[in-house]
């Protein structure tokens, strides 16, 4: 996860008006390769603006960053066969109220699910905590997939902790909390963070907590 976070920091630093998605992706991947990454679990996602943040999985293009854009970074490096992951939206300047509300609600949903992470917790309860926040925020219809999942030899692997999951978290679980809000009138984003869950508590695998990021 140190590699993933370094990639995120490089990506945020590279976000300047006029830069292309592929240029930002190149900066992210250069830093991660220098740290020993052998590749990625999924292609590095860099998307700017409505059209290129609308899809759940988007390809980087020569689309240029414009003032007021919402940028989406999703980074999943692979090191010695294992994966890390981090996903964040970055606001380029002030955002409309509905976008800021969505980001803040996704962060709150992530935090609610995080509080439920403990050895012996039931998957459905972990999922429900976050989904309840989105329901209260009026955003549940934008949550396009069940995003709480294990992470290890794949970036997205079973168990998938859905609202009906009876999976019980064992000691030393590696879990990614992914709150996905996509295919909206203004685009979309995910807030994704990985954790280790054991009898000592939770360890977030990044210094960067889910938070509202604006440049």
Distance CA 178, CA 134 (A): 13
- Residue 25 pLDDT: 98
- Residue 137 pLDDT: 97
Mean pLDDT by groups of 10 residues along the chain of 215 residues:
92 97 98 95 95 94 97 95 93 95 97 95 96 97 92 86 94 95 96 93 84 92
Q: For residue 175, report the phi and psi dihedrals to the nearest 5 degrees.
A: -125, 135
DSSP-derived 3-state class of residue 2: helix
- Residue 1 pLDDT: 78
- Residue 205 pLDDT: 82
- Residue 157 pLDDT: 86
Check: pTM over 0.75? Answer yes or no. yes
- Residue 156 pLDDT: 84
Instruction: Note the CATH architecture for domain 2-214.
Output: Alpha-Beta Complex (3.90)
- Residue 153 pLDDT: 84
Chain centroid, CA 83 distance in Å:
14
Question: So where are the chain's domains?
Answer: 2-214
């Amino acid at each position: 996860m140190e590699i993933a976070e370094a990639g995120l920091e490089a990506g945020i630093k590279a976000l300047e008006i006029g830069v292309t998605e592929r240029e930002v992706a190149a900066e992210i991947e250069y830093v991660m390769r220098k740290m020993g990454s052998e590749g990625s679990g999924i292609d590095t996602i860099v998307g700017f603006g409505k059209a290129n943040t609308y899809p759940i999985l988007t390809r980087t293009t020569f689309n240029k960053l414009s003032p007021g854009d919402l940028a989406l970074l999703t980074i999943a490096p692979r090191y010695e066969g294992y994966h890390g992951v981090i996903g964040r939206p970055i606001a380029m300047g002030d955002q409309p109220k509905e976008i800021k509300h969505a980001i803040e609600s996704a962060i709150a949903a992530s935090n609610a699910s995080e509080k439920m992470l403990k050895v012996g917790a039931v998957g459905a309860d972990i999922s429900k905590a976050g989904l309840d926040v989105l329901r209260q925020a009026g955003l549940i219809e934008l949550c396009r997939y069940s995003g709480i999942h294990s992470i290890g030899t794949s970036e997205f692997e079973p168990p998938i902790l859905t609202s009906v999951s009876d999976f019980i978290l064992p000691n030393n679980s590696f879990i990614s909390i992914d709150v996905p809000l996509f295919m909206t009138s203004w685009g979309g984003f995910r807030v994704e963070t990985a954790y280790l869950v054991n009898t000592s508590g939770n360890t977030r695998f990044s210094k960067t907590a889910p938070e509202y990021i604006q440049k």
